[in-house]
Amino acid sequence: GSLESDVAALSDFRLAADRTSALTSWNLSANPSPCASWRGVTCAGGRVTRLVLEDLGLAGSDSLSTLARLDGLRVLSLKRNALSGSIPDLSPLAGLKLLFLAHNALSGPVPPSLGKLYRLYRLDLSFNNLSGEVPPELNRLDRLLTLRLDSNRLTGGIDALNLPRLQEFNVSHNSMSGKIPSPLATFPAAAFDGNPGLCGAPLPPCNASEAGRCPPSTVVSSPYAKPAGAETPPESGKGKMSRAAVVAIVAGDFAVVVLVAALLFCYFYPRLSNRRRLQQGEKIVYSSSPYGAAGVVAAAGGGAAGGGGGTFEHRGKMVFLEDVTNSSGGSRRFELEELLRASAEMLGKGGSGTAYKAVLDDGTVVAVKRLRETAPGVVGGASSRKEFEHHMAVLGRLRHPNVVPLKAYYYARDEKLLVYEYMPNGSLFSILHGKSSPQLCFSVNSFTQHSSTLFPCVADELELEPCDKQTGNRGPGRTPLEWAARLRIASGAARGLAYIHHAGRRRTTGSPHKLAHGNVKSTNILLDKSGAARLADCGLAHLVPPSPRSAGYRAPEAPPPHRPWASQKGDVYALGVVLLELLTGRFPGSELPNGGVVAELPRWVQSVVREEWTSEVFDLELMKDRGIEEEMVAMLQLALGCAAAAPEQRPKIGYVVKMIDEVRACGEASSREESSMDESSGVSDSPAVSEGGAISG
């Protein structure tokens, strides 16, 4: 194909379909550049890639077949016209990603040849006169997110439909019959209404006599339960389960029961023993609240000030690096006693300690991190006060709009508290995954393989639970995070990191060493009150070893996990993993589609990209954003560069900041362009993938 052949096909289509002279701009003598001035036509790489002609009164019973010659097409939308006749063989449009033919007068069967458009994401044939059965060939469209066949005259059942990635499905108002298969039962009743012969959830149950007619549900192990983006060989995973799989599931269930019991033991045992210690009069400061769910930080027995012994036996003073801001905008300091009286709520328990939100008597809010005790010799350990104080002085000088400021610290032999500005809008982890903190998960099927290493009590923070395959391990009810917001967060985090890396060199901190963050990850990227991303926990990796939950961000050259370690190259690697997390929506400690459990997000992404399935890695949620494919691919390349296995191949942070900003600038420019173009030729109902279909694969 060439642009000339595309123009010839378009001209034939105009002749066959343009009854209302809507396409007068399609005139080579008046408008010699079709890509620039023909209505609804968009090109990329010298080919017509997008044709959007909606509500134009286009008609004709054979006009569609002329468009089958546009073999560079990615998007075809002819909604709300008057096209008639049957749907022709569109299989030459092998790169088509969106096909919208809704609200026309098309008749005849849904052609099996549509099953050859294996790159399709969205297929909408609703509101036509299509008849016959849904062809099983549609099951080949294993990337399909939308399938709309509603308001036609289709017959037969839908029990054979097997499209694991469907997000939008509608067959209402047809003449279909039979039982709704369980993988489709998650769609609302409205998706099936108006088919007198369909039964079973979410519609009323099939009654006994109908049950005879209903084909039995063959889906024991639902392919719909696979995590989104799972690699599925085209013909595998469909139909009945093998015996081995049944055995594996039964074994897995048993294993889960054992594991849950063990976890309950791990969870309750320390609490019971804490309670026993409390009963024996021991002081536990900042322990879980005795006052119910809200939690109150309090020194047992009326504040740490009241009495010797216990945790604050060797008391020091709060050392302020900068005043904190109180609720009325003024600045203030406080003593330890006041902090211990503050009401508080546990924010989370990390590798370096436990974080609390503390509200002082006058309403001033701060975040307090109680450092985990570490071995003597490690800076946070008992023997290195001087080093600790020096380190705090260095960190206290870090001031940047993308870094969480350290305000004060408290040092005693067995108690170290760090006071930070409180960030009210959560962490990147929480907004991306919909949970407050990460949980490494185990796959039921791979349990037996991993049980010896993962079996409980590995570390008390490591609360393993089965991976939630249905939701891709995301918490319920979260608001999707759109692409522009992801880019803004990536840019903020990279700028914060660049500041930290350059701070040492500029001697802002007085440190002779290059500074590194040491624990860049999504729970350490917090959002301040204006929504800007800020890096938290800067420099703590020098003090305490990271938690097992940081494992997925740790560069391959890092020493074993229990040793404190920080390097600038390691930070760039970790930022690369964060970028991959933003692109894929996957936490690098959750189950991956290839069955891996912990970490290795870069390796997984690389393997998928190598096989030219790039689009498979992206977060499905991003499919709603329009025209971002090129930006996503550019970010993916940058992320993989940062997460290169060899440290010398990773870019410097300054380059990373520049590249992210270029991608952002590009996106802003093209969204301006797109919105002006949409006024004349937009695809309605926001199809997810548009504009030249730069999603590769």
When binding is defined by CB under 6 A, the residue of 348, 548, 647, 651 that contacts ligand ATP is 348
Least distance (Å) between residue 639 CB and ligand ATP? 21
Which residue number, 49 or 547, has a Cβ lying nearer to ligand ATP? 547
For residues 519 and 350, what is the distance between their CA atoms, to the nearest angstrom? 11
When binding is defined by CB under 6 A, the residue of 34, 40, 157, 351 that contacts ligand ATP is 351
Q: Which two tokens stand for residue 292?
A: 């119910």
Which residue number, 248 or 551, has a Cβ lying nearer to ligand ATP? 551
For residues 545 and 440, what is the distance between their CA atoms, to the nearest angstrom? 18
For residues 45 and 73, what is the distance between their CA atoms, to the nearest angstrom? 11
Q: Give, as ranges, the residues between 406 and 435 that touch ligand ATP (CB under 6 A).
A: 420, 422-423, 427
List the x/- string, 435-474, binding to ligand ATP by CB under 6 A.
--x-------------------------------------
User: Does the protein bind ligand ATP through residue 493 (CB under 6 A)?
Assistant: no
Size of residue set near ligand ATP by CB under 6 A? 25
100 secondary structure, DSSP code: E
Pairing of strands 129-133, 105-109: parallel
Q: Give, as ranges, the residues between 506 and 535 that touch ligand ATP (CB under 6 A).
A: 519, 523-524, 526
Which residue number, 50 or 486, has a Cβ lying nearer to ligand ATP? 486
Cα dihedral sign for 510, 511, 512, 513? negative
Cα distance between the two ends of the chain? 20
Least distance (Å) between residue 380 CB and ligand ATP? 12
When binding is defined by CB under 6 A, the residue of 402, 550, 568, 614 that contacts ligand ATP is 550
User: Does the protein bind ligand ATP through residue 571 (CB under 6 A)?
Assistant: no
Give residue 305's Cα distance to chain centre. 46
Which residue number, 49 or 523, has a Cβ lying nearer to ligand ATP? 523
For residues 620 and 585, what is the distance between their CA atoms, to the nearest angstrom? 8
Tell me the residue length of the chain.
Answer: 697
CB-side neighbour CA atoms (13 Å) of 551: 15
Considering only the stretches 300-308, 350-358, 583-591, 632-640, report the one whose residues sit in contact with ligand ATP under the rule CB under 6 A: 350-358
Q: Which two tokens stand for residue 475?
A: 């918490």
CB-side neighbour CA atoms (13 Å) of 660: 29
Q: Give, as ranges, the residues between 39 and 78 that touch ligand ATP (CB under 6 A).
A: none
For residues 546 and 536, what is the distance between their CA atoms, to the nearest angstrom? 14
Least distance (Å) between residue 279 CB and ligand ATP? 28
Least distance (Å) between residue 461 CB and ligand ATP? 9
> Which residue number is nearest to ligand ATP in terms of Cβ?
350
Containing 50, the helix (H) or strand (E) segment is: strand 47-52
User: Does the protein bind ligand ATP through residue 367 (CB under 6 A)?
Assistant: yes
Give residue 37's Cα distance to chain centre. 38
CB 170 within 8 A of CB 149: yes
Which residue number, 501 or 517, has a Cβ lying nearer to ligand ATP? 517
Which residue number, 427 or 690, has a Cβ lying nearer to ligand ATP? 427
Query: Among residues 224, 213, 214, which one has the least CA distance to residue 169?
Result: 224
User: Does the protein bind ligand ATP through residue 364 (CB under 6 A)?
Assistant: no
Backbone angles phi, psi at 369, to 5 degrees: -110, 120
Which residue number, 311 or 354, has a Cβ lying nearer to ligand ATP? 354
307: phi > 0 → left, psi -120 to 50 → alpha, else beta; which? Answer: left
User: Does the protein bind ligand ATP through residue 537 (CB under 6 A)?
Assistant: yes
b/e code 211-222 from CB counts within 10 Å (16+ = b): eeebeeeebebb
When binding is defined by CB under 6 A, the residue of 152, 311, 547, 690 that contacts ligand ATP is 547
Which residue number, 98 or 536, has a Cβ lying nearer to ligand ATP? 536
For residue 261, the SS3 value is helix
Query: Among residues 72, 69, 18, 77, which one has the least CA distance to residue 49?
Result: 72
When binding is defined by CB under 6 A, the residue of 195, 352, 491, 568 that contacts ligand ATP is 352
User: Does the protein bind ligand ATP through residue 295 (CB under 6 A)?
Assistant: no
Least distance (Å) between residue 176 CB and ligand ATP? 48
Is 369 labeled as ligand-binding? yes
Least distance (Å) between residue 368 CB and ligand ATP? 9
Least distance (Å) between residue 527 CB and ligand ATP? 9
Q: Which two tokens stand for residue 654?
A: 């300054």
Which residues, at least 6 apart from 573, have a Cβ–Cβ distance to it below 8 Å? 553, 554, 555, 556, 642, 643, 644, 647, 650
Least distance (Å) between residue 377 CB and ligand ATP? 20
User: Does the protein bind ligand ATP through residue 536 (CB under 6 A)?
Assistant: yes
Which residue number, 126 or 524, has a Cβ lying nearer to ligand ATP? 524
Which residue number, 84 or 550, has a Cβ lying nearer to ligand ATP? 550
Containing 385, the helix (H) or strand (E) segment is: helix 385-396
Which residue number, 417 or 526, has a Cβ lying nearer to ligand ATP? 526
For residues 22 and 680, what is the distance between their CA atoms, to the nearest angstrom? 12
329 secondary structure, DSSP code: S
Least distance (Å) between residue 341 CB and ligand ATP? 20
Type of residue numbered 78: L
When binding is defined by CB under 6 A, the residue of 166, 404, 464, 617 that contacts ligand ATP is 404
Which residue number, 443 or 523, has a Cβ lying nearer to ligand ATP? 523
Binding residues for ATP: 369
Binding residues: 369
Residues lying near ligand ATP in the complex (CB under 6 A): 347-348, 350-355, 367, 369, 404, 420, 422-423, 427, 437, 519, 523-524, 526, 536-537, 546-547, 550
